[in-house]
């Protein structure tokens, strides 16, 4: 029995890298279908193989987390790449990503791209947004046209542990600059980059599949860009847990299970009124809460 990690999955084939960086092409046992288990990129697995091209994936080991979009498991850090312009920065979309990372206990890092093409008004607006997220405790990277050395330094400094012990997922809206950032971190990747569609206001999809690749001693996943995420599997009362600035005040509310919406004597609403919690974050929370309510109806 051999052990390894799935680094790519295409058309029913699973490519597994073992501890010696040898890559095996395998197919999953039919029993997975009966057990309703689907192996995904990032899974640690057991497999059998006499050669590099005809192996059998026999067991998926327990996961510490799993995302359905993008479909990947066992992620340590999620780098959310969002641009100032082209496409325009959306705190609503950024907060959607943050909620999903918080839910899966993945350390978030916010990387704001295209600062070099933003005008003065846009840069001032972004600085205000950066301040709000840093006040919460998020690590935010926003620099004008970073050099390779600066980009590497700031990305590495965002992690609490050694870089080479992380599996890092780069995620964000299409056209925000994920592939551009990764090419800056490692020019040998030579990932395709795309321009933003002027008609739709969003980027063309340049990343089609998920694959784990080496980066600066660790592993990373560049994921297909997307601009929609739902809150399937998240209960109304649970949503507060994924807003750190609200979670730390939740027990101060008068009512247990307070949704911080229409309830009286709510500590969260009081904190918003006193500018301790940003108005835009609270509004995003209410919008997400309403979306969850609508999902329950249907």
In this structure, are strands 71-73 and 66-68 parallel, antiparallel, or unpaired? antiparallel
Is CATH 1.10.760.10 correct for 236-297?
Answer: no
Give the contacts of 129 (CB within 8 A, at least 6 positions apart). Answer: 89, 91
Low-confidence ranges of the chain (pLDDT < 50): 194-207
pLDDT of residue 129: 96
- How confident is the model over 136-186, as pLDDT tens digits? 999 999 877 767 777 778 877 776 555 566 889 988 888 888 888 888 888
* Residue ranges, CATH 3.40.50.300, the chain: 67-222
pTM: 0.87
Cα 72 → chain centroid? 10
Q: How many other C-beta atoms can be found within 10 angstroms of the C-beta atom of residue 64?
A: 13
- By C-alpha distance, which of 18, 31, 14, 28 is closest to 57? 28
The superfamily CATH assigns to domain 67-222 is P-loop containing nucleotide triphosphate hydrolases (3.40.50.300)
Q: Quick check: 172 and 165 in contact, CB under 8 A?
A: no
pLDDT of residue 206: 43
CA angle at 116 for the pair 113 and 117, rounded to the nearest 5°: 95
Give the contacts of 274 (CB within 8 A, at least 6 positions apart). Answer: none
CA dist., res. 202 & res. 284, Å (int): 21
Is CATH 2.40.50.140 correct for 2-62?
Answer: yes
Give the contacts of 116 (CB within 8 A, at least 6 positions apart). Answer: 144, 145
126 prior amide bond cis, ω within 30: no
Q: At what angle do helices 279-297 and 91-103 cross, to 10 degrees?
A: 70
pLDDT of residue 196: 33
Give the contacts of 150 (CB within 8 A, at least 6 positions apart). Answer: 143
| Contacts made by residues 233-242, CB under 8 angstroms, sequence distance 24+ | 234/99, 234/103, 234/292, 235/292, 236/289, 236/292, 236/293, 236/296, 239/99, 239/285, 239/288, 239/289, 239/292, 240/268, 240/285, 241/102, 241/103, 242/98, 242/99, 242/102, 242/103
Cα 109 → chain centroid? 9
* Residue ranges, CATH 2.40.50.140, the chain: 2-62
* Residue ranges, CATH 1.10.40.50, the chain: 236-297
- How confident is the model over 247-264, as pLDDT tens digits? 999 999 999 999 999 999
């Amino acid at each position: 029995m051999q052990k390894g990690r799935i680094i790519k999955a295409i058309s029913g084939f699973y490519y597994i890298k073992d501890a010696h960086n040898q890559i095996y092409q395998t197919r999953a046992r039919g029993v997975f279908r009966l057990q309703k288990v689907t192996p995904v990129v990032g899974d640690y697995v057991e497999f059998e193989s006499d050669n590099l091209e005809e192996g059998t994936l026999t067991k998926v080991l327990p996961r510490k987390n799993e995302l359905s979009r993008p479909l990947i498991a066992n992620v340590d850090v999620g780098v959310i790449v969002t641009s100032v312009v082209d496409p325009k920065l959306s705190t609503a979309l950024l907060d959607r990503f943050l909620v999903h990372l918080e839910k899966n206990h993945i350390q978030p890092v916010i990387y704001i791209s295209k600062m070099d093409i933003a005008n003065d008004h846009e840069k001032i607006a972004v600085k205000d947004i950066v301040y709000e997220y840093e006040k919460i405790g998020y690590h935010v990277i926003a620099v004008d046209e970073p050099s390779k050395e600066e980009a590497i330094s700031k990305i590495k400094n965002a992690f609490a542990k050694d870089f080479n012990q992380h599996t890092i997922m780069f995620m964000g809206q299409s056209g925000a600059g994920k592939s551009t950032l990764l090419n800056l971190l490692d020019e040998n990747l030579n990932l395709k980059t795309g321009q933003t569609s002027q008609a739709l206001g969003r980027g063309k999809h340049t990343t089609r599949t998920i694959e784990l690749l080496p980066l600066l001693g660790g592993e990373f996943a560049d994921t297909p860009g997307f601009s929609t995420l739902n809150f399937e599997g998240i209960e109304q009362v649970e949503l507060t847990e994924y807003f750190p600035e609200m979670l730390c005040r939740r027990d101060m509310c008068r009512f247990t299970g307070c949704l911080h919406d229409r309830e009286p004597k709510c500590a969260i609403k009081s904190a918003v009124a006193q500018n301790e919690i940003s108005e835009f974050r609270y509004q995003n929370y209410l919008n997400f809460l309403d979306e969850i309510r609508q999902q329950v109806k249907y």
